[in-house]
Amino acid sequence: MAQVGNAFDVTTPQDLDERFRAAVGELSPGSADLPDGMPAELVRAVFDAQLTSRHLDLAARWLRSFGEGFYTIGSAGHESNAVVAAALRHTDPAFLHYRSGAFYAARVAQGGGADSVSDTARDVLRGVVASASEPIAGGRHKVFGNAAHHVVPTTSTIASHLPRAVGAAFAIERLRKVNGNGAAGPPWPADALVVCSFGDASVNHATAAAALNTAGWIDHTGLRLPLLLVCEDNGIGISVKSPPGWVEATLRARPGLKYFGAEGDDPAAAYAAAVEAAGHVRRTRRPAVLHLRTVRFMGHAGADAEVAYRPAADLDRDLGRDPVIATARLLVDAGLATPEEVLARYDEVGWQVRKVAEEVLGERKLAGPAEIVATLAPRRPVRVARTVSDLSGLSTADRAAAFGGRLPEEAGPLTLAQTINATLADGLLANPRMAVFGEDVALKGGVYGVTKGLRERFGATRVFDTLLDETSILGLGLGAGLAGMLPVPEIQYLAYLHNAEDQLRGEAATMQFFSGGAYRNPMVVRIAGLAYQEGFGGHFHNDNSVAVLRDIPGLVVAVPARADDAAPLLRTCLASAAVDGSVCVYLEPIALYHTRDLYEDGDNEWLAPYLGPASWADAHVPVGRARVYQVGSAEDLTIITFGNGVRMSLRVAARLVEEGIGARVVDLRWLAPLPVADVIRESSATGRVLVVDETRRSGGVGEGVLAALVDAGYVGSVSRIASVDSFVPLGPAAREVLVAEDAITQGARALLAR
């Protein structure tokens, strides 16, 4: 053990091991009473979980030492979190911090398997060695996750799991009401609570601040939220100390959150605090935070030399607060075990863990891209189509009631906005677990009236206004989807997606990938976006950038340009979310919401009648299928576009016909996955392609179309009209940067003149 004076300059696995043996050896057996409510069995179970976790950390370092382990962030010093698991039920969904290893071990033991030490070790070490047999992520990441134990995997992005945990707690309460409609129960019992752990530095993250605020806000409105937040406070985030007292001050200051505190090196008191906190949450269905003070051993991760930034005295002090030694002391003080028996158990667990480490290190790793992406976003288009066609049975009487006596198919031609409204209503009617929510969607019915009347017809449980925070809106969707709802959150403007984007990218899109499909977040995120609003808004209401959505693996992005596509595309998204757990973005072109005309004023050509359920099967549009308009001979030119570009291109194509030029206009309809087969076929049909892309030249949709053509070996001519790499300015200047009809016309002529 390296020593400076009587302090350590770095804590190694050997230090921890030697220190444990020495400290236990010095204990003298006693006959003290166990604290009230803490039976001997429970202390033993907590101790076993702590030992398992400690030895897993040591094993991870051992595996790393010869290149067979790929993850060394450990739980050593945090093992007091085992008492939190002990205070909860096996069926309480848990979203865990990466140092909640002892919680995980205790949870596995609660599951009642024959050998919980080996079972835990196998789960965790398969993650460490990236084994394809790892039970939840299949070697895609080292996570704590196991559906059989109701542990939902979390990502490494600090605090990003908190909004989802809020959403899951919200949904558990919401589903109690929905179940009154006869729907199946949620995956968790109705009296479950959600537990979510995180570190002390994480408290400061915007995402954590959002979740803590949202939990308090929900409570303040009188709604119930059975959420137990657990801050595992080791006083430091990598190398940056949390200012003394800050974490407690900020957690205590949160309106709506009841604060409980506990010291990790006092297992009896920590357990009592956890029981009290959990009891409060379960009984009152109101959120609470348990501030569990821990220590951190062996640095942040394997390669972290703490000595560079932590005074030796700090490390020494932490070693005096080892939670595993504290539980050993409790056992010995109470006469439940002699020091020798404690050490014997320590070694026995150590051998079991090491044995599993040796077993798993040679296991097969993921092989090849196909296996790796197999769990990313599985799609079953036939089932999706069948789900849509099954809706033909929707009762006319129910629909008449839901639509206030006037069915939308009898209302004459509708706008894009009216069609989306009617489709959402039919969706809400068809699926009692579907919920529509966001800023201003309920009482007001949306900034553009798209959700008008839905709250009146379906009630505030199904259609509701949220607080103004996009991170929390998406988080509610993530948690609600996990809990078995079909969430349809709205992001009011595309520009405001960006500050919350990680909830889509890091959380939603990764869930099936990191959980082998055991957990899914079916979700259809409606986003109002794209440019060309006449006389309104500037950049933030006319954002024309979707680059941030285009490269998220597995994400579905639909853009309906007109009413008769809006309904089938939305139904497909809803069905795909329900059937395959797809994460879908339904991007609504604001400028086309209320557009009525196509070629000339009053022609009403941009409207379309709404089709009743009997026609939905025929009208079904699978994910990734484009729409083709043949204009004139349709032989001279292929225009590939989407959104506002469809209307502009159709207008241009109509004028080109007068010049004797026949064009086919391809509406991509899906920006992800791109309808590559349709694009190639329609491009090859004319050999001349004009990409009309209202998003930016850099990172815009057009880049993807051009790349698809090149990849497919397309050999014809091709050119691109795209918007300028700029933010969209206010007023008429917007036209200077956006794709305009003149530019499309010139682009077409230039292409034909080549």
Ligand X SMILES: Cc1ncc(C[n+]2csc(CCOP(=O)(O)OP(=O)(O)O)c2C)c(N)n1
Q: What is the rounded CA–CA span in Å between residue 56 and residue 125?
A: 7
Binding residues for Mg ion, rule CB under 5 A, total 5
Minimum CB separation of residue 19 from ligand X in Å reads 20
Residues forming contacts to ligand X in the complex (CB under 6 A) are 99, 156-158, 199-202, 234, 236-238, 296, 300
Could you tell me which residues are beta bridge partners of residue 584?
524, 556
Q: What is the rounded CA–CA span in Å between residue 236 and residue 232?
A: 10
Picked from ligand X, Mg ion, none, the partner binding residue 158 (CB below 5 to 8 A depending on kind) is ligand X
Nearer to ligand X, 97 or 122 (CB): 97
Nearer to Mg ion, 306 or 490 (CB): 306
Nearer to ligand X, 81 or 644 (CB): 81
Nearer to Mg ion, 234 or 582 (CB): 234
* CA-based nearest residue to 525, from 500, 553, 561, 562: 500
| Contact predicate 673/623, CB 8 Å | yes
* CA-based nearest residue to 57, from 12, 3, 2, 9: 12
Minimum CB separation of residue 311 from ligand X in Å reads 17
Picked from Mg ion, ligand X, none, the partner binding residue 480 (CB below 5 to 8 A depending on kind) is none
Minimum CB separation of residue 511 from ligand X in Å reads 17
**Residue with the closest Cβ to ligand X?**
199
Nearer to ligand X, 451 or 471 (CB): 471
| Contact predicate 549/523, CB 8 Å | no
Minimum CB separation of residue 303 from ligand X in Å reads 13
Minimum CB separation of residue 204 from ligand X in Å reads 8
* CA-based nearest residue to 226, from 264, 258, 263: 258
| Contact predicate 81/39, CB 8 Å | no
Nearer to Mg ion, 17 or 304 (CB): 304
* CA-based nearest residue to 228, from 173, 277, 175: 277
Q: What is the rounded CA–CA span in Å between residue 34 and residue 43?
A: 9
Minimum CB separation of residue 53 from ligand X in Å reads 14
| Element housing 342 (H / E) | helix 339-360
Could you tell me which residues are beta bridge partners of residue 199?
232
Nearer to ligand X, 143 or 648 (CB): 143
Going residue by residue from 385 to 424, which x/- string records binding to Mg ion, judged by CB under 5 A?
A: ----------------------------------------
Minimum CB separation of residue 211 from ligand X in Å reads 13
Chain residues 92-131 in contact with Mg ion, contact rule CB under 5 A: none
What's the longest Cα–Cα distance across the chain? 101
Nearer to Mg ion, 98 or 519 (CB): 98
| Prior bond of 673 cis (ω within 30°) | yes
Q: Is 306 in the site for Mg ion (CB under 5 A)?
A: no
Q: What is the rounded CA–CA span in Å between residue 315 and residue 27?
A: 22
Q: Is 234 in the site for Mg ion (CB under 5 A)?
A: yes
584 backbone dihedrals φ, ψ, rounded to 5°? -115, 140
Minimum CB separation of residue 299 from ligand X in Å reads 10
Picked from ligand X, Mg ion, none, the partner binding residue 238 (CB below 5 to 8 A depending on kind) is ligand X
Beta strand pairing call for 627-631 and 663-667: antiparallel
Radius of gyration (Cα) for the chain, nearest Å?
A: 29
Q: Is 75 in the site for Mg ion (CB under 5 A)?
A: no
Q: Is 199 in the site for Mg ion (CB under 5 A)?
A: yes
Exposed e or buried b for every residue in 636-666, given b needs 16+ CB within 10 A?
bbbbbbbbbbbbbbbbbbbebbeeebbbbbb
Minimum CB separation of residue 726 from ligand X in Å reads 29
Minimum CB separation of residue 505 from ligand X in Å reads 12
Tokens matching residue 109: 């033991």
Q: Is 515 in the site for Mg ion (CB under 5 A)?
A: no
Nearer to ligand X, 233 or 565 (CB): 233
Using CB under 5 A, pick the residue from 48, 92, 200, 588 that binds Mg ion: 200
DSSP E strands, 333-455: 434-438
CA angle 212, 218, 219 (to 5 degrees): 90
CA angle 241, 20, 315 (to 5 degrees): 20
Picked from Mg ion, ligand X, none, the partner binding residue 128 (CB below 5 to 8 A depending on kind) is none
Q: What is the rounded CA–CA span in Å between residue 721 and residue 501?
A: 28
Nearer to Mg ion, 71 or 670 (CB): 71
Nearer to ligand X, 136 or 298 (CB): 298
CA angle 367, 371, 376 (to 5 degrees): 140
163-171, 236-244, 580-588, 631-639 -> range binding Mg ion (CB under 5 A): 236-244
Minimum CB separation of residue 309 from Mg ion in Å reads 13
Q: Token pair 């198919």 is at which residue?
A: 409
Picked from ligand X, Mg ion, none, the partner binding residue 749 (CB below 5 to 8 A depending on kind) is none
22-30, 201-209, 264-272, 504-512 -> range binding Mg ion (CB under 5 A): 201-209
Q: Which residues sit at the interface with Mg ion, rule CB under 5 A? A: 199-201, 234, 237
